[in-house]
Amino acid sequence: MPMDARQAALALFEKHNGTLKTKQALTLGIHPRTLYQLRDEGQLERVSRGVYRLASLEPLSNPDLATVALRVPRAVICLVSALDYHGLTAEIPREVQIALPRGTRTPTIDHPPIRVFRFTGEALTAGVMEVDLDGVAARVYDPSKAVVDCFRFRNKLGMEVVLDALSRWRDRRIGKPADLLHYARLCRVERVMLPYLEAML
């Protein structure tokens, strides 16, 4: 394998924050043989099927979230995964929970496990933050929206998780009650949330 082809490929990875999907790499002119040789030599690591990263980089702080963000860029990290990102839960996520528009195809990802929740209208678009996960652009709901979404899906998550998130949100003072009420109206859970807000805030 010519050294210049490998060096050029590594330079392209560096230019793209060290991570590329196979399709991106091929589009940029990296030959499949070069890609797999670099992987076999240990200069690239396979993060997930079709996603490669420079092995010289620091380990990902949120590898599951970063992988999903790369594989499904339109997804928004939501519910317990968003709570975990913001430090608002004691739960250890066993899957990455993502929001996608109703009617879109469920992505196929071998790892990490994902769970798709369907959102529509402003419930999908409101409160989305653009964040950087070790050089990977990702979308996650802000803390207040994440808490409100948990009320919306309380029957699937359990009220213990939901109330713990609300309590942590209050204790950390990372939003205003008006933010919760705004999102509660958008997501049509204002009537459900109000008694808890009055009791806790």
Residue 31 DSSP label = -
Locate 76 and state its tokens: 């928004």
Task: Tell me the per-residue pLDDT of 19-74, one tens digit each, with 9 for 90 and over.
Answer: 888 888 999 999 999 998 999 999 998 877 788 888 888 776 788 998 899 889 99
Domains of the chain and CATH, by start: 3-54 (1.10.10), 63-200 (3.30.460)
The Cα–Cα gap between 56 and 137 comes to 20
CA distances from 69 to 14, 25, 183 (A): 19, 17, 24
Phi, psi of 74 (to 5 degrees): -85, -10
What confidence score (pLDDT) does residue 2 get? 53
Residue 190's alpha-carbon distances to 54, 88, 118, 182, 199, in angstroms, are: 46, 21, 20, 9, 14
The pLDDT of residue 58 is 79
**Interval 125-182: pLDDT, tens:** 999 999 988 778 899 999 999 999 999 999 999 999 999 999 999 999 888 899 999 9
